[in-house]
Amino acid sequence: MKNDLLEVLVEISEKMNSIFDVNDLLPSIISIAREYLGVKRSSLMLIHGNRLSISAHSGFEIDPHNIEIALGEGIAGKVAETGMETVVNLSEESREEMGYRASSFMSVPVKTNNKVIGVLNLTDKEHDYFTEDDVRIARYIASQCALGIERFNLVRDMRKSENLRIIGMLNSSIAHDIKNLLNIVQSYLELIDITELDGEVADYIESIHSEVKRIHGLTLDLLDFSRQKVSINLVRFRVSELFNDLRKQFRVLTRDTAVEVEFINNGDPELWLDREKIFRMLFNLIANAVDVLGDKGTVRISACAAGGCCEFDIYDNGRGIPQDTINKIFDPFFTSGKIKGTGLGLAIVKMIVEAHSGFICVDSKPDEYTVFKVRVPLRYEPT
């Protein structure tokens, strides 16, 4: 445990001035907080949609990154919802009276511009007592976490704006022209009656139609991305409709491989969202998984309704995502070394999900699996 407050403040300042990637900065600050305040565990939970998830941690015996709680649930959830810190000090006598193992803990809101964006949790205080100085230091550390996040987001947005400026010079007019030409091609393809053709030619026509539809969707995604604004066209539909269309597309795309694409539809939830954009979001995630597998493997897509949301899981048993890049995969132009692709696919996926007030995250184990988890409301309510 560190005792010199000035030493701690200088160390945090040095971290702030030398580490600009928030994924490296926050764990460093959280570790300093744990050591100085003499707690067994410390964690930073950030708000994503209506839930809290752990972004950085120190002192945990197992990786807690998959832990999520709803806003208003438990101590941390209530602090995130109300913005009011909570400190609980338990003496030895109190613990004996309560009759079970308990310890002192503190939960402090993390705010930017008076808006709560997360919670700093400090658990199992040595000697089971937080002083007023401890609380003040926790507030300072929470403010430094918020400052680091705000700075990171500002730099990221500046880089994104510069990239978008470059794209915008070429993208908009070209994409419009391509979209118009593809509309004509699609119209002619739909005039062909494949029932009158032999099986092999019919397959070729269906493959052409599938690829044209992919290109058409890509041009629409690029237009949305260049504008950084997703227009939502609400329609009512069921998950089974999406899955039927996706199944048809990937039956063609995986025809010459040993890749299996499985769809699991639990309860067939009814959605009121932008059907085309949700289709393209799922299509991009599945296509990425198929590309990663190559000639053999399994992609499994499941859907179910839970808590007013539709949850999609897109799983593949491919090579996984290295831990040193998993936090960058949603960044524009990050390709993870792929030969094909623009590096915009997952950035566009994230943009579509967030435009529907949803949330996306990824869990992966190298050489074993990757699963993208998407949560969108059953019914989109414009703000």
Q: How many domains does the chain have?
A: 2
Residue 116 placed within a domain: yes
39 and 136 together in one domain: yes
Are residues 138 and 257 both part of a single domain? no
Query: Do 146 and 238 belong to one domain?
Result: no
**Residues 367 and 244 occupy one common structural domain:** yes
In this structure, is residue 191 part of a structural domain? no
CATH number, domain containing residue 121: 3.30.450.40
Of 184, 145, 156, nearest in space to 29 by CA: 145
Q: How far is Cα 140 from Cα 223, in angstroms, rounded to an integer?
A: 43
Token match 């994230």: residue?
350
Please tell me whether the overall predicted TM-score, pTM, comes out greater than 0.85 for this model: no
pLDDT tens figures, 8-45: 778 888 887 788 788 888 888 889 888 888 888 899 99
Q: Which of 156, 174, 192 is the last residue of a domain?
A: 156
Instruction: Report the distance separating Cα 362 and Cα 261, nearest Å.
Output: 19
Inside any domain, residue 197: no
Among the candidates 128, 156, 184, a domain finishes at 156
334 vs 282, residue with greater confidence = 282
Question: Does residue 350 sit within a domain?
Answer: yes
- pLDDT over threshold 70, residue 166: no
Q: Average model confidence (pLDDT) for the chain? A: 82
Is residue 110 a part of any domain in this protein? Answer: yes
Q: How far is CA 144 from CA 16, 32, 44, 107, 148, in A?
A: 8, 12, 12, 15, 6
Q: And the tokens for 61?
A: 């015996």
Which of 132, 156, 180 marks a domain boundary?
156
* Structural domain harbouring 69: 5-156
User: What's the pLDDT at 338?
Assistant: 53
> Do 133 and 11 belong together in one domain?
yes
Crossing angle of helices 275-293 and 199-227, rounded to 10° = 110
β-strands 105-112, 235-238 pairing: unpaired
Identify whether residues 10 and 150 lie together within a single domain: yes
Q: Which tokens in the block code for residue 3?
A: 């005792």
Question: Do 138 and 29 sit in the same domain of this protein?
Answer: yes
| Residue 242 maps to a domain | yes
Inter-residue contact 378 to 310 (CB < 8 Å)? yes
What angle do helix axes 239-253 and 275-293 make, rounded to 10 degrees? 40
Based on the domain organization, do 33 and 131 belong to the same domain? Answer: yes
Residues 151 and 270 in one domain: no
Q: Is 211 part of any domain?
A: no
Classify residue 327 as exposed, middle or buried by CB count within 10 Å of its CB (0-12, 13-18, 19+).
Answer: middle
Per residue in 59-98, pLDDT (tens digit) is 887 777 677 888 998 889 999 999 999 998 866 555 455 4
Tell me: do 144 and 276 sit in the same domain: no
Asked if residue 242 and residue 139 are part of one domain, the reply reads: no
Angle between helices 22-37 and 132-191 (to 10 degrees): 160
The DSSP line for 351-368 is HHHHHTT-EEEEEEETTT
Minimal CA–CA distance to 120: which of 50, 34, 206, 197?
34
| Residue 3: pLDDT over 70 | no
Does residue 270 lie in a domain region? Answer: yes
Cα 291 to Cα 160: distance, rounded to the nearest angstrom: 26
